[in-house]
Amino acid sequence: MKFLDLCKVYIRSGAGGGGCISFRREKYIEYGGPDGGDGGSGGSVWAEAVDGLNTLIDFRYQQHFFAKNGQPGMGKQRTGKDGEDIVLRVPVGTEILDEDQETVIADMTEVGQRVQLARGGNGGWGNLHFKSATNQAPRRSNPGQDGVERTLWLRLKLIADVGLLGLPNAGKSTFLAATSNARPKIADYPFTTLHPNLGVVGVDNTEFVVADIPGLIEGASEGRGLGDLFLGHVERCSVLLHLVDGTSETVADDYRTIIHELEAYGGDLAEKPRVTVLNKIDALDEEERAEAQKELEKASGGPVMLMSGVAREGVTEVLRALRGQIDEDRLRHRPVQENEPWQP
Ligand SMILES: Nc1nc2c(ncn2[C@@H]2O[C@H](COP(=O)(O)OP(=O)(O)OP(=O)(O)O)[C@@H](O)[C@H]2O)c(=O)[nH]1
Ligand SMILES: [Mg+2]
């Protein structure tokens, strides 16, 4: 599947239909009063967050979204038909930005969330509306209101619970494939993964979503390799899973390279909870494992778990650690209930 995470769209709501000038004309009725109906409203443009989409690729093929105009009013007090609305279906996690690419108009974070992007124009009044005591035969109506035209940007930031981090070839995609329904491409060369993949992972009868992103290298924040733009996709995760290739001669440096890039990226990414894992331990003997683990613990200043994505060793323990962090994060961000005793 192709992946696209920023695109431009042009939208226009429908214009309202014009009001009608008309008079009642019937046999035996002299001076029939005004009977011109109102114009119908123009259609509006909406965005709706939907499930099951994780790319904006559809918007590469269609960028123009015009809602229908309202029909003009007609004689015999008939109102014009309203123009149909149009709905842009976007993946959950899409931000809708104004033309400046900065002002956030809406953040589509929940399935079913709907926002109006451009309101349809009101229909004009027919002459029936202008009848008054002093003017029984008004020759006046309103035109319909114009539609609204806007240029907008859609930016997708995937919503996952866990974000995978590591140098190219650290085994991120292998881990995702071993633990989830996702089938990312895996190969023994760097930059196999070119766009984010999402997978649903199950452990102890619970599920969470893991995002695999392209590997980072030193200087990614300055654009080296594939750059660090993909880090936008892990900004919303509860926890980051940092995989370090145990077969590397320089595990401590590898670790520091990634942390340095996180810091350079900014935001609060470097402060996010992290689980650090020494991967590919199937390729190491006992002594090598212990040595690399010690080195990594020294560099990270925290615990380091051992794992092999290929041999599926230590995988469940890692998933449980992630589960624990996700739960903690949810507790932290849960709105405080009224009358709940305060707890430190
Ligand atoms: N021995 C061993 N090899 C592994 C393990 N996990 C991954 N590999 C190998 O390491 C290579 C890279 O694996 P990927 O999963 O593609 O690595 P990645 O981190 O997704 O790489 P990029 O997408 O390029 O960033 C492949 O040849 C894998 O077979 C492991 O646990 N043990
Ligand atoms: Mg990969």
Residue to mutate (ligand 1; options 165, 167, 185, 186; most atoms within 8 A of CB): 186
| Pocket lining for ligand 1, CB < 6 angstroms | 166, 168-174, 186-188, 190-193, 214-215, 279-280, 282-283, 308-310
Tell me: the pLDDT tens digits for 164-217? Answer: 999 999 999 999 999 988 888 888 888 888 888 888 898 998 888 899 988 888
- CA-CA distance, 6 to 38, in Å (whole number)? 41
Q: Is the ipTM of this complex over 0.95?
A: yes
Question: Among the CATH numbers 2.30.110.10, 2.60.40.1260, 2.70.210.12, 3.40.50.280, which is that of 1-157?
Answer: 2.70.210.12
Instruction: Give the residue whose CA is nearest to atom 24 of ligand 1.
Output: 191
Q: Are 299 and 255 a contacting pair, CB within 8 Å?
A: yes
Tell me: the pLDDT tens digits for 88-122? Answer: 999 888 999 999 998 999 999 899 999 999 999 99
Tell me: the pLDDT tens digits for 270-315? Answer: 999 999 999 999 999 999 999 999 999 999 999 999 999 999 999 9
Q: What's the gap in Å between 311 CA and the centre of ligand 2?
A: 17
Q: DSSP characters for 97-126?
A: E-TTS-SEEEEE-STT-EEEEEPPPPPPPP
pLDDT of 129 > 50? The answer is: yes
pLDDT of 344 > 60? The answer is: no
Q: Which long-range contacts (CB under 8 A, 24 or more apart) does 333-339 make?
A: none
Task: Give the DSSP letter of residue 82.
Answer: P
Query: What phi and psi values does residue 258 have, to the nearest 5 degrees?
Result: -65, -45
Give the pLDDT of residue 25: 86
| C-alpha torsion sign, points 93, 94, 100, 105 | negative
- CA-CA distance, 314 to 281, in Å (whole number)? 9
Residue to mutate (ligand 1; options 167, 173, 174, 194; most atoms within 8 A of CB): 174
Q: What CA dihedral angle connects 329, 333, 338 and 342, to 10 degrees?
A: 60
Q: Which of 121-130, 217-226, 253-262 has the lowest mean pLDDT?
A: 217-226
The CATH fold of domain 162-333: Rossmann fold (3.40.50)
What residue type is 100 in one-letter code?
D
pLDDT band at residue 1, thresholds of 50, 70 and 90? very low
Distance from the Cα of residue 20 to its chain's centroid: 44
Q: Are 171 and 243 a contacting pair, CB within 8 Å?
A: yes
| CA neighbor of 38 nearest in space, from 138, 144, 139, 120 | 144
- Quick one: tokens of 144? 């319909």
* Per-domain residue ranges of the chain: 1-157, 162-333
